[in-house]
Amino acid sequence: MRNSFVSRVPVVIVGACIAVAVALVSAQAPSYRAPRTADGKPNFNGIWQAINSANYDIEAHAAAPSPVLELGAAGAIPGGLGIVEGGTLPYRPEALTKRNENRANRLKLDPEVKCYLPGVPRATYMPFPFQIIQSQKHIMLIHEYASAVRTIYMADQTEAPADSWMGWSNGRWEGESLVVDTKGFNDLSWFDRSGNFHSDALHVVERFTARSADTLNYEATIEDPKVFTRPFKISMPLYRRVEPNAQILEFRCVEFVEDLLYGHLRKQPSQ
C-alpha cells in the first residue's frame, strides 16, 4: 500500500504542473498586449469584420431555407451556434410573442430589408466590414452597410441629446479594453433578421479587447427591462481585413430599395 502511495506522488505532482501550465496558458490569451497608439492607448485602428451567422439569428439556430423562394440555396440561412451567453434570449412573455410575430413577417418588417440604419450591436456583426478611426477625443466606427456611423466620445461626454438609430456612445479605457456605453436608442432597429428586437430603453455596454495582432474580442452586455427579464451578454471575435488594399466601399442601399418601398406608388400609365 505504502509503495503504491509513494509511486503516485510524482503522478500527482506532474498533474498539478500540467494544471498550472494550462492555467498559465489560458491566462495568457486575455493578457495579450495590443500595440500602442502614439498617445499610449491600445491601437484598434483597422478594418474589422465578424465572421458568423449572427445577423441571421443571434440565438443558436439550424440551417433553414431561404425566405425568398426565387433565391433557392443562394438565399438559404446558414446555421449558427449563436452569440448569446446561455443560448436563448431572456424575453418577457409578451415580448417573446412580438419577436415571433416579427419573425413571421420578417420580409415586411426587418429594417435591413428597407436599408434602414442597423442599430447597435447589429452593426458590428452585419456581413460587412467596418473601420475604426481612433483619435484621442473621438473613436469613429464607420460601417460599410448603409454608411452607418458611430462616434464614440472619449472626451466632452454628454447624455444622448435625442434618440437615434445608432445611439449615443461614450467610451473609456479600462486597461487593455475599450469600453463603450451606448444609450439614447429609438425602438426601431432589430438585433438580426429573425425579429429579435429591443425597445428605446436599450442600454449596450461593449468591450473591445485585442486578442492577437489581427483579432479582437468583442463582447456586449445588453440591458432592456421593457423587453428582457435580465441583462444578457453576447460575444464574438472580430477579424482584421488584412488585404493590403482593404477599404470600406459604398453600400448606398437607399437606391436599391426604392421600388420595394415606393414602387406601388408609381404613376400608372393612363387607361
Partner 1 sequence: MINTKTTKRTKATKRVGLLAPFMTLMIFVTSVMFVSAQNPAYKTPRTPDGQPDLQGFWSNATYTPLERPDNVTKEFYTPEEALAAEKTAAARENAQTEPGTTADVHYDFTQFGLDRSQATLARSLRTSLIVDPKNGKLPAITEEGKKILAARSEEAKKLGGRWDSAQANQLDDRCIIMAGPGPPMMDAAYNSNYQIVQAPGYVMILTEMIHDARIIPLDGRPQPPAAVRQWMGISRGRWEGDTLVIETTNFNGKNPFRGSTENMKVVERLRRASDDTIEYNFTVEDRSMWVRPWSAEAVMRKTMGPLFEHACHEGNYGLYNTLVGARLDEQKARESATKKDSK
In the numeric block, the cell 498559465 is attached to 24
Bridge pairing between strands 46-49 and 130-134: antiparallel
Pick the closer one to partner 1 by CB: 138 or 233. 138
- Give first-to-last CA distance, the chain, whole Å: 104
Q: What share of the chain is helix, strand, coil (3-state, %, to 5)?
A: 25, 30, 45
DSSP code at position 34: P
What residues between 18 and 37 interact with partner 1 by CB under 8 A? Answer: 37
In the numeric block, the cell 509511486 is attached to 7
Pick the closer one to partner 1 by CB: 134 or 196. 134
Q: Does the protein bind partner 1 through residue 214 (CB under 8 A)?
A: no
Minimum CB distance to partner 1, residue 187 (Å): 13
Minimum CB distance to partner 1, residue 93 (Å): 30
Query: Rounded to whole angstroms, how far apart are CA atoms 113 and 253?
Result: 10
Give the x/- contact pattern for partner 1 in 119-138, rule: CB under 8 A.
Answer: ------------xxxxxxxx
Q: Beta-carbon neighbour count of residue 220 at 10 Å?
A: 20
Among 54, 83, 115, 210, binds partner 1 (CB under 8 A): 115
Q: Does the protein bind partner 1 through residue 2 (CB under 8 A)?
A: no
162, 179 Cβ separation under 8 angstroms: no
Contacting residues toward partner 1, per CB under 8 A: 37-39, 45, 111, 115-117, 131-138, 140, 142, 147-149, 151, 153, 156, 161-162, 164-166, 188, 244-245, 247-250, 252, 254-255, 258-259, 261-262, 265-267
